Amino acid sequence: MQEVRPDRESVQAALQQLFPRSVVQLGRCEEASRGLPDCEAWVSLGDQSLSLLVEFKRMGSGARLKEAAELLRRRQVEHPSRLWVLACPFLSSSRQELLRESNVPFLDLAGNAWIVSDAVHIDRRGFPNPFSEQRRARGPFSDKASLVLRALIASGPGGGVRSIAEQAGLSPGYVSKVVQELEERGYVARREEGLALRNGQELLQDWVRAYRKHWIERRGYFLAVPRVQAVMDAIREASISDEYALALQAGASLVAPYAEFDVVDVYVHSIDASVRLAGQLGAREVERGANLRVSVPYYRVSAFFDGQETAGLPVVSDLQLYLDLYDHPLRGREQAEQIIERRLGPKLEAAERE
């Protein structure tokens, strides 16, 4: 779905809302070209007039917002006598904060705004998104589509559509469409040597926002063992044949140990597999006090992509650990930051390297 693009009428209404006692006049309003703004506006402030150059942007990704902020900062330096303002359909609180920190004035059609100059100081925040959110047909963070990004991060730069398709088990046509979407969002670039990742940190921020549901089904079990590490030992010694992988804090403890935990999380492909796993371990299902949780992940397919084996146990990828831990309670954010610092960050840098 294409995002709503601010038009002349909506910008006029938004500015009038910000300056209810002033006269707001709009000049030319058309698609920007050759360094010109999308729209020019003048606001009468008593004996003063505030001149605004409004730049329209469709904020489909954090990468595009970063690029827009850089562009407006440069244009402000080149044209200091007039104030450049970024106009978007809607800006989340985190993106508003990014623009404030970047000293980039902005407004959105919901009523949020930050416009600071010698003549005015406007800071409006907390207005919700008035536009109904709909998932794009090929959203790059869906289960199937995310395999493209996962393959690109795992293999690094230089691969083409066909090599990624082969690695991810997808058709080249499907991969090509997902890559096109990623290009539009500013997260993939086509180079002579192949595809390369761009704006890795902003990519992860957008991915975390899109990834909110961590599992489809889950069951809790209890093993009569003295400590949580003994649960992992029991899993290792049971030689379980069903495909599974350790996740969350238990998985992270094997690749980048940092936080303590009291339950071992395991991902399986189906809830039936959890019953078989519990039977092999001699665990009983419980409502409370579980030291083993077996879940069918939200990403049924891609959660198992690029898994790793550590200390004789399968673990989901560093990327999946990060996604799951970022909003997880009990020091999940801190553990996710360790994953970035010690493991995933270098992979992202390698995937972006020319």
CATH value at residue 27: 3.40.1350
pLDDT string in tens for the chain (354-residue length): 344 456 778 888 889 999 988 888 888 776 655 667 788 889 988 778 888 998 888 766 888 888 888 989 888 888 888 899 999 889 988 889 989 999 999 999 889 999 998 888 999 999 988 875 544 434 899 999 999 999 999 987 778 899 999 999 999 999 999 999 999 899 999 888 889 898 998 999 899 988 876 678 899 999 999 999 999 999 998 876 667 999 999 999 999 999 999 999 999 998 888 888 889 899 999 999 999 999 999 999 999 999 999 999 999 999 999 999 999 988 999 999 999 999 999 888 887 765
Asked if residue 153 is part of any domain, the answer here is: yes
CA dist 141 and 212 (Å) reads: 11
58 contacts: CB under 8 Å, gap ≥ 6: 2, 3, 5, 64, 88, 89
Q: In terms of domains, do 259 and 157 share one?
A: no
The DSSP string of 154-180 is HH-TT--HHHHHHHHT--HHHHHHHHH
CA dist 175 and 172 (Å) reads: 5
CATH value at residue 348: 3.30.460.40
Asked if residue 65 is part of any domain, the answer here is: yes
CA dist 148 and 199 (Å) reads: 16
175 contacts: CB under 8 Å, gap ≥ 6: 148, 161, 164, 165, 168
Instruction: Write 44-49 long-range contacts (CB < 8 A, 24+).
Output: 45/19, 45/119, 45/120, 48/119
Q: How many CB atoms lie within 10 A of CB 213?
A: 8
User: Phi then psi for 216, rounded to 5 degrees?
Assistant: -95, -45
Asked if residue 287 is part of any domain, the answer here is: yes
Asked if residue 3 is part of any domain, the answer here is: no
Q: In terms of domains, do 164 and 237 share one?
A: no
Domain count, the chain: 3
> How far does Cα 309 stand from its chain's mean position?
26
CATH value at residue 190: 1.10.10.10
Q: In terms of domains, do 76 and 26 share one?
A: yes
Round the CA-based radius of gyration of the chain to a whole number and report it: 25
Q: Which domain holds residue 104?
A: 8-124
106-to-66, 221, 228, 266 alpha-carbon distances in Å = 13, 51, 50, 44
Q: What is the model's pTM? A: 0.75
Asked if residue 135 is part of any domain, the answer here is: no
